[in-house]
């Protein structure tokens, strides 16, 4: 477990008593707790989620100032492989928090998919933005449905990413395997758009918040377009599974989005583990919820964040007791 607490040493406590301060007054300022949040590729929205949360946690801490919350939490949000990687690492105690798609959160707690670690101890904290599944097709490919990718060079995403799993779900729905593609590449989210523009691949699947700078590299940069995905298989997926819903990528989002795009999507969710102490999750939740205006301003995908939705939409794991405590105090739960 990377969660590391450096306790105040006995000598320091003795010295504080000499200054007329009790050890408990100072304990939280001297005691540091290090937390890591798993995100996704550096050009994705998860990376912004994780780093925004850290920013709010640090802002709240305000150690060294006369006012401010002295929780002693130090936060880092490194780039990672994405949803299923984050869940696996949280389950092993290597990460305290992570961002994960609602479909993979569901499967992790229910043990219902081999594509993600079975993790009964996974806990929900809140949900963030919606993530439409994007099928991005290169200019001139004429791809108009998922099955049109047959015979093409398709990026199915890096192992550990949420989009890799969701692309595979779609492939299974259509009875396709990687043999149906001329090539199935495993590029990361930060590589795929440039590869498309360089003519190395014809299409890729990506589950991501809107708008996304990575997607615009392909759409605005080299005329790639987002395909409507509302066929029979997508309709069945939405009808059968609580974590999928139809959604729209609005006209005008990117240069090539002349009309609304209809596709299915998931929610990005913020998750933790039952072994992460209640006070740590409480402080992180509190920092986020008490600075929601800041959060909303940090990425256009966060613009409409509303606590009423954040504490329920897309959450299938039990809410972590530290988060539940804060929501109960607010009268939200
Ligand atoms: N949904 C993607 C995944 O789970 C990540 C999207 C992002 O980085 O914003 O891997």
Give me the half-sphere count of Cα atoms (radius 13 Å) on the Cβ side of residue 12: 12
- The 10s digit of each residue's pLDDT in 26-55 is 345 568 899 999 999 999 999 999 999 999
3-state secondary structure of 118: coil
d(CA 117, CA 156): 19
pTM for the model stands at 0.91
d(CA 256, CA 254): 5
Residue-level pLDDT at 29: 52
Q: What is the DSSP string of 168-224?
A: HHHHHHTT--GGGSSEEE---HHHHHHHHHTTS-SEEEEE--SS-HHHHHHHHHH--
Tell me: do 124 and 272 sit in the same domain: yes
In the numeric block, the tokens 């992180």 are attached to 284
Evaluate: CB of 165 within 6 angstroms of ligand 1: no
Evaluate: CB of 41 within 6 angstroms of ligand 1: yes
Residue-level pLDDT at 27: 40
Which amino acid residue places its CA nearest to atom 2 of ligand 1? 162
Residue-level pLDDT at 4: 46
- The domain boundary, picked from 223, 246, 266, lies at 266
- The 10s digit of each residue's pLDDT in 176-211 is 999 999 999 999 999 999 999 999 999 999 999 999
Q: pLDDT band at 173, cuts 50/70/90?
A: very high
Tell me: do 254 and 145 sit in the same domain: yes
Which amino acid residue places its CA nearest to atom 3 of ligand 1? 162
Q: Calculate the CA dihedral of residues 192, 297, 271, 288 and round it to 10 degrees.
A: 160
* Mean pLDDT to the nearest integer, 112-128: 98
Q: pLDDT band at 8, cuts 50/70/90?
A: very low
Position 224 pLDDT exceeds 90? yes
Position 2 pLDDT exceeds 80? no
Tell me: do 116 and 185 sit in the same domain: no
- The domain boundary, picked from 266, 296, 311, lies at 266
Structure tokens at 285: 């939740």
Tell me: do 136 and 259 sit in the same domain: yes
- Cα(121) to ligand 1 centroid in Å equals 22
- Cα(275) to ligand 1 centroid in Å equals 24
Tell me: do 148 and 203 sit in the same domain: yes
Tell me: do 94 and 180 sit in the same domain: no
- The domain boundary, picked from 229, 246, 266, lies at 266
Average pLDDT for the chain: 92
Tell me: do 259 and 283 sit in the same domain: no
Residue-level pLDDT at 70: 83
CATH number at residue 173: 3.40.190.10
Tell me: do 236 and 177 sit in the same domain: yes
Which amino acid residue places its CA nearest to atom 8 of ligand 1? 44
- Cα(158) to ligand 1 centroid in Å equals 11
Q: What are φ and ψ of residue 19, in 5° steps?
A: -90, 0
Evaluate: CB of 40 within 6 angstroms of ligand 1: yes
Tell me: do 39 and 90 sit in the same domain: yes
Per the structure, the count of domains in the chain is 2
Distance of CA 282 to the CA centre of its chain: 19
Per-residue three-class SS string for the chain: CCCCECCCCHHHHHHHHHCCCCHHHHHHHHCCEEEEEECCCCCCCHHHHHHHHHHHHHHHHCCCCCCCCCCCEEEECCCCCCHHHHHHHHHCCCCCEEEEEHHHHHHHHHCCCCCCCCCCCEEEEEEEEEEEEEEEECCCCCCCCHHHHCCCEEECCCCCCHHHHHHHHHHHHCCCCHHHCCEEECCCHHHHHHHHHCCCCCEEEEECCCCCHHHHHHHHHHCCEECCCCCHHHHHHHHHCCCCEEEEECCCCCCCCCCCEEEEEEEEEEEEECCCCHHHHHHHHHHHHCCHHHHHHCCHHHCCCCHHHHCCCCCCCCECHHHHHHHHHCCCC
Tell me: do 278 and 204 sit in the same domain: no
Tell me: do 115 and 12 sit in the same domain: yes
Residue-level pLDDT at 31: 80
Tell me: do 35 and 80 sit in the same domain: yes
Q: Which domain holds residue 23?
A: 3-129+268-329
Q: Calculate the CA dihedral of residues 207, 208, 214, 215 and round it to 10 degrees.
A: 70
- The 10s digit of each residue's pLDDT in 63-94 is 666 677 889 999 999 999 999 999 999 999 99
Residue-level pLDDT at 60: 74
């Amino acid at each position: 477990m990377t969660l590391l607490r450096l306790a105040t040493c006995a000598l320091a406590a003795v010295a504080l008593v000499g200054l007329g301060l009790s050890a408990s007054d100072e304990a939280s300022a001297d005691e540091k707790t290090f937390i890591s949040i798993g995100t996704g590729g550096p050009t994705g929205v998860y990376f912004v989620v994780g780093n925004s949360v850290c920013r709010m946690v640090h802002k709240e801490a305000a150690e060294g100032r006369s006012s401010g919350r002295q929780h002693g939490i130090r936060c880092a949000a490194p780039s990672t492989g994405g949803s299923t990687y984050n869940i696996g690492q949280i389950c092993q105690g290597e990460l305290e928090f992570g961002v994960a798609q609602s479909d993979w959160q569901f499967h992790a707690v229910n043990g219902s998919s081999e594509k993600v670690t079975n993790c009964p101890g996974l806990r929900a904290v809140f949900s963030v933005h919606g993530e439409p599944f994007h099928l991005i097709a290169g200019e001139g490919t004429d791809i108009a449905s998922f099955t049109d990718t047959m015979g093409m060079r398709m990026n199915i995403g890096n192992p550990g990413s949420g989009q890799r799993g969701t692309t595979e779900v779609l492939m299974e729905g259509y009875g396709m395997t990687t043999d149906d593609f001329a090539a199935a590449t495993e590029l990361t989210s930060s590589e795929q758009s440039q590869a498309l523009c360089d003519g190395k691949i014809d299409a890729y699947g990506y589950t991501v918040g809107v708008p996304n700078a990575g997607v615009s590299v392909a759409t605005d940069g080299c005329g790639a377009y987002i395909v409507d995905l509302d066929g029979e298989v997508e309709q069945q997926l939405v009808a059968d599974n609580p974590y999928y819903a139809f959604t729209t990528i609005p006209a005008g989002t990117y240069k090539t989005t002349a009309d609304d795009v209809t596709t299915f999507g998931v929610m990005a969710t913020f998750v933790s583990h039952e072994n992460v102490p209640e006070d740590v999750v409480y402080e992180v939740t509190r920092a986020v919820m008490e600075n929601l205006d800041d959060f909303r301003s940090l990425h256009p995908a966060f613009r409409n964040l509303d606590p009423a939705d954040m504490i329920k939409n897309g959450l299938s794991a039990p809410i972590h007791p530290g988060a539940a405590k804060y929501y109960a105090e607010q009268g939200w739960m």
